[in-house]
């Protein structure tokens, strides 16, 4: 049917689709078309999304700002309902995005330093009160390991290493800033049910900060983690 102009066609279609039968027919046809061209359509959408990433992001952001409360409420409900899944997903994400996660966490801590301090001030004592056993175990563990390496004379160890920190190659002093590090970490021995040697053969002097950074890595693991 020829139309004189766009308006006329629009008017005609409006009337045409106001009849339920026609509407249903159109729906069916659309569905069939979609099914038939599923793959192409999907590829097309994917390509479109890739080419309009920034636009999409901005759009999502605008949408989020407009529906913030609603969105947050829904997200919270979802999180509460899917606690285990969320935990697992987060862990998986962190493992797959180790470097980004590290940077993000560092930034986050820097940004929220003050809040964090206040939080610890407020909830630290409560946590310690409720987790006495855990805290005791940790203190005892630290004390035991300290006692065990007590027989090492720090000065001797420093001399063995020429007063150089093996982890950063900078000078060490014979004072509180130098810690005694277990070269092969205690927990590695613990994992296989063996006692960690606490003598000169498994100890090295290190800056407190280097010792902290190395944590429970072996020297080589630490080396590669710094690359």
By beta-carbon proximity to Zn ion, the closer residue of 139 and 177 is 177
Q: How many residues bind Zn ion (CB under 5 A)?
A: 5
CB 144 to Zn ion: min, Å: 25
Q: What is the rounded CA–CA span in Å between residue 227 and residue 222? A: 9
Q: Which residue has the tokens 């049917």?
A: 1
Return the half-sphere exposure (C-beta side, CA atoms, 13 A cut-off) of residue 121: 6
By beta-carbon proximity to Zn ion, the closer residue of 149 and 210 is 210
Q: Are residues 134 and 181 in contact, defined by beta-carbon separation less than 8 angstroms?
A: no
The enclosing H or E element of 195 equals: none
Q: CA–CA distance from 18 to each of 5, 10, 26, 206 (Å)?
A: 20, 12, 11, 81
Q: What is the rounded CA–CA span in Å between residue 158 and residue 171? A: 10
CB 159 to Zn ion: min, Å: 17
Residues 192-221 that bind Zn ion (CB under 5 A): 207, 210
Residues 144-183 that bind Zn ion (CB under 5 A): 165, 167-168
Q: Which residue has the tokens 């994992």?
A: 191
CB 152 to Zn ion: min, Å: 18
Q: For the CA atoms of the chain, what is the radius of gyration?
A: 32
By beta-carbon proximity to Zn ion, the closer residue of 166 and 197 is 166
CB 223 to Zn ion: min, Å: 13
By beta-carbon proximity to Zn ion, the closer residue of 172 and 186 is 172
CB 170 to Zn ion: min, Å: 5
By beta-carbon proximity to Zn ion, the closer residue of 130 and 209 is 209
By beta-carbon proximity to Zn ion, the closer residue of 198 and 207 is 207
CB 153 to Zn ion: min, Å: 20
Q: What is the rounded CA–CA span in Å between residue 181 and residue 185? A: 8
User: Could you tell me how many residues make up the chain?
Assistant: 227
Q: Are residues 171 and 164 in contact, defined by beta-carbon separation less than 8 angstroms?
A: yes
Q: Are residues 17 and 26 in contact, defined by beta-carbon separation less than 8 angstroms?
A: yes
CB 81 to Zn ion: min, Å: 47
**Dmax of the chain from CA atoms?**
102
By beta-carbon proximity to Zn ion, the closer residue of 17 and 166 is 166
Query: Residue with CB nearest Zn ion?
Result: 165
Positions that interact with Zn ion (CB under 5 A) = 165, 167-168, 207, 210
């Amino acid at each position: 049917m020829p139309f004189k102009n766009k308006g006329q066609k629009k008017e005609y279609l409006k009337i045409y689709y106001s009849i339920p039968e026609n509407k249903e027919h159109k729906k069916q046809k659309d569905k069939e078309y979609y099914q038939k061209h599923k793959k192409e359509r999907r590829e097309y959408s994917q390509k479109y999304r890739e080419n309009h990433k920034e636009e999409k992001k901005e759009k999502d952001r605008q949408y989020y700002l407009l529906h913030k409360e609603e969105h947050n409420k829904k997200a919270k409900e979802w999180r509460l309902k899917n606690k285990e899944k969320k935990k697992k997903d987060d862990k998986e994400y962190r493992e797959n995005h180790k470097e980004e996660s590290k940077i993000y966490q560092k930034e986050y801590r820097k940004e929220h330093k003050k809040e964090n301090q206040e939080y610890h001030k407020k909830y630290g004592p409560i946590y310690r009160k409720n987790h006495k056993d855990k805290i005791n175990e940790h203190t005892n563990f630290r004390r035991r390991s300290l006692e065990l390496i007590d027989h090492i004379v720090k000065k001797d160890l420093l001399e063995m290493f020429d007063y150089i920190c093996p982890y950063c190659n900078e000078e060490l002093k014979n004072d509180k800033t130098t810690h005694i590090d277990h070269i092969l970490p205690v927990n590695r021995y613990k994992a296989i049910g063996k006692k960690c040697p606490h003598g000169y053969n498994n100890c090295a002097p290190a800056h407190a900060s280097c010792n902290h950074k190395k944590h429970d890595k072996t020297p080589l693991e630490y080396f590669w983690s710094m690359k």
